[in-house]
Amino acid sequence: MRKICSVVGARPQFIKLAVVSRVLRKRFQEVLIHTGQHFDANMSDVFFEEMDIPRPDYNLGISGGSHGQMTGQMLIELEKVFVQEKPDMVLLFGDTNSTMAAALAAVKLHIPICHVEAGNRFGTLDSPEEVNRTVTDHLSSINLPCTQSSLEFLKREGLGHTATVVGDPMYDAFCYYTQRLDGSELQELVDPDGKPLAVPDAFYYMTCHRQENTDTDEKLQHIFDALEALDAPTIYPVHPRNRERARRLAVQGGYKKLLLAQPVGYKTSISLVNHAKKIVTDSGGVQREAFFAKKPCVTVLDFVVWPETMANGYNQLAKPDKEDILEKLHREITFDPAYQPFGDGHSAEKIVEKIEEYWR
């Protein structure tokens, strides 16, 4: 049986791994490596537990520091693991520092790479995710884009011969776990002090963690001011990176409609998406989940991450500016139920089939 080393390190990768690993392990020996990029229990352990992901065979415990420091340390430690395990292939997801470090380690050892969620482009190298994904695409033997637009980017870069559209494993996960929600997951919300947080009958849901939105008081305050002006409270699970700033601004601003919470697991998050009036986010994953749930979404970014979600105003870009966010949120949006560009919910099977095809 051939051996596959799957490398993950961050929340979106755990979600994709959950559905792919379930199929992969029926046909291959999987060695699971967690770089430790997301190490907080609420950002890591909870996903493995509630999504029944096998425990990692290796946890490298690498997080923090600059992009260069983190990537370099991961490269060193991943190379050691690959030398020891001698995998037939390395399986990577998305666009984190863990992804690129693993690609660099693998290619220098002449190990073929399969890259899931390949080809997406933001159009700016100011984004570290753009750098990570582009480098990984060009080092991979198999590129598996989620959508047709991602395939077109790969073709323009001369990588069309390596690429096949397989759909989005995030959509697989959303379909699978949404069917298993029973409402109890919403009772697990707690505020930053660990006290239970009651979920209002009507609410908005926000995730906001990117450095460009949370690195100054002014930007985050503009976002909070917009939420305070809405017709219902907003639930905001706060990323560990900006926990202190968010709590301080919430107290200083005296916001009544901003409900800060500790980070949530996957089931709680998609339950919040499914029950919210609308979504505000800067996450590539959450904007897709909003689309899957047919919920209008405002993405606080200055570049398009998933063009498919932008059709008919389903997802709209906004600046970290109160008036811009509110203007976008107040637009009435109607979804076309027939429009589903992210596959049929069975991308995991297609991913494993493409891996098998590589050796045939």
Task: Tell me the catalytic residues.
Answer: 209
Q: What backbone torsions phi and psi does residue 64 show, to the nearest 5 degrees?
A: 80, 175
| Helix axis angle, 284-292 to 169-178, nearest 10° | 50
Q: What is the DSSP letter of 109?
A: T
What is the DSSP code (8-state) at residue 71?
H
Q: 3-8 and 29-34: which strand pairing?
A: parallel
The half-sphere exposure of 60 on its side-chain side, counting CA atoms within 13 A, is 30
Q: What is each CA distance from 105 to 69, 108, 112, 192, in whole angstroms?
A: 15, 6, 11, 38
Q: Are 120 and 145 in contact (CB under 8 A)?
A: yes
Contact call for residues 261 and 185 (beta carbons, < 8 A): no
Token pair 């598996």 is found at 144
**CB atoms near residue 336 (< 10 Å):** 10
Are the beta carbons of 63 and 38 closer than 8 angstroms?
A: yes
Residue for token digits 């037939």? 88
Nearest CA-CA partner of 47 in 266, 272, 207, 286? 266
Indicate the DSSP class of residue 307. Answer: G
